[in-house]
Amino acid sequence: MKITNALRAFELTTRPIHPESRAALDKRWNELPPHAQTDNQLLGRSAVGCEGTHGVFPKCDLTCSPCYHAADANKVRIDGNHTVDGVTEQMEYLRRIRGPRAHAQLIGGEVSLLPAADHAAALTAMRAHGREPMSMTHGDFDYQYLLDVVLDDTGRRRFNKVSFAAHFDSLMRGRRGAVRPHTEAELNPFREKFARMFVDLKRDHGVTSYLAHNMTVTPSNVAQVGSVTRDVLEMPYDMMSFQPAAFIGDDRRWKEDFDAVTVDAVWERIEEGAGQKLPWQAAQFGDPRCNRTTVGLRAGGVFAPLLDPDEPKDIAARDRFLNHFGGMVFGDVPAHILTVKIIRALGAHPGDIPPLLGLVHRVLGRAGGVRGVLRAARAGRLGFKTFVVHSFMDASDVAPAWELMQRGVVGTDAKTIETQERLGSCMYAMSHPGDDRLVPACVQHSVLDPIENIGLRALLPIIGTATGTALGAEAGIVARPSGLTAVRQTQARQRPAQ
């Protein structure tokens, strides 16, 4: 019996696509609005989408214009137990309804304000529920803090790999050494220093990393996107993500006409910095009005996209991959398990081998050929790069559109219809276990964060218990050992009737 159970477990572990993943993908595809069910759509075919935490550490120690945090975010105390409990509860729910594997962001305020041990415990909880966590930070912390997160008290590794996304832009105020930067170029030493910590981490302790560089874009710095792209491409970041600003969060920090910055304008600046066109149409996450992405191999100064939308053979290879491998997990899987998964997948679809090998050959050709790739590798200038533009929506558009969606009502005006379409195809979700639902990130930031923070101020007051009690009475809630229950009660009172 033990042998039989072991064989069954091995068969499930090495199955190319886990049945729970398959079910979650099918559910996601069926939930997409018809306009998003396109041949290049990755949601529901290759991934369920990204996930993020909320209400677990809203406080930040920088001041930015704009700021997506609700006005009360910095009035909530950092509390490690609350963070770990909240992360665990949210991840348990995501695992249950979104399957065994997904990418999730440890996000809220500034993650490095968490004590290192609590930061590590939150990452451990995320991994325990099949999530690949990424810590979201402004990057203004020292190497010792990173070591304290990654290593335990005995100096042993807690993790073999970590992922961090660092946000750098000239709209941020309070960074040590760059309190009020006037140009993006002033931040390059800080970008470089942050990335080099992870180079040192690998050298010193064998811990690998995935690094993303984030930047908010407004009319005041859009002209500098090209130079940022050019500079950061020479740093050890794996992803460059740009977010055109939206009217979300603390309106005291809205200083510009954010509507003047479009996805097309930002993408053109990225291409300018990269020195070439960056085709993105062959693969799509969610709604193209929200997201634009391309992934490729960078060899020296040449970026070779994995998919060329104008090459029919690339599109054919894409379709084969999505049809037969979509939902297969490649990251953070033991090599021997991944090998068996790939063998089983190719064994079931041997006709996929020539097209996929042809795709590899074309990518190498676009990167300068085998010799060019080898030269870049020897020079330490070979690696995969991802470019992303992600656009949030204004709170004034999201709130009424979401209220109608909660009642099952489709809007009648063009803006509401567009907003509902984008919310319905959102690739970035946050979980509310007590309500048994997922919400798009724009809804979380526009509608729910302000309500959550009323409860969190009562549960985790900064300036004393008496103040917290008064706030709780004002909000109509009672503080409890776990802040999650009380916060949910507040949300329920203020949610529109369904």
Contact criterion met (CB below 8 Å) for 200 and 209: no
CA distance 444 to 257: 23
Q: How many CA atoms lie within 13 A of 2 on its CB side?
A: 0
Residue with tokens 């962001």: 105
Looking up tokens 């930061």, which residue turns up? 119
Distances (CA, A) of 436 to 89, 94, 108, 293, 423: 12, 10, 21, 31, 18
Class of the CATH domain delimited by 2-390: alpha beta
Digit-by-digit pLDDT tens for the chain (498 residues) are: 688 888 898 899 999 999 999 999 999 999 999 999 999 999 999 999 999 999 999 999 998 888 888 778 889 999 999 999 999 999 999 999 999 999 999 999 999 999 999 999 999 999 999 999 999 999 999 999 999 999 999 999 999 999 999 999 999 999 999 999 999 999 999 999 999 999 999 999 999 999 999 999 999 999 999 999 999 999 999 999 999 999 888 777 777 777 779 999 999 999 999 999 999 999 999 999 999 999 999 999 999 999 999 999 999 999 999 999 999 988 778 889 999 999 999 999 999 999 999 999 999 999 999 999 999 999 999 999 999 999 999 999 999 999 999 999 999 999 999 999 999 999 999 999 999 999 999 999 999 999 999 999 999 998 754 434 444 434 333 333 334 444 444 344 333 333
Give the whole-angstrom CA distance, residue 79 versus residue 217: 31
**What pLDDT does residue 464 have?**
52
- Among 158, 79, 89, residue whose Cα is nearest residue 129: 89
Nearest to 424 by CA among 402, 392, 393: 402
pTM value is: 0.91
pLDDT score recorded for residue 1? 63
- Residue 386's pLDDT is what? 98
Q: Which residues of 289-328 are buried (b: 16+ CB within 10 A; e: fewer)?
A: ebbbbbbbbbbeebbbbbbbbebeebbebbebbbebbbbb
Copy the structure tokens of residue 380.
């330490």
Place of tokens 């981490």: 201
Nearest to 235 by CA among 378, 388, 383, 390: 383
Q: How far apart are CA 393 and CA 446, in angstroms?
A: 9
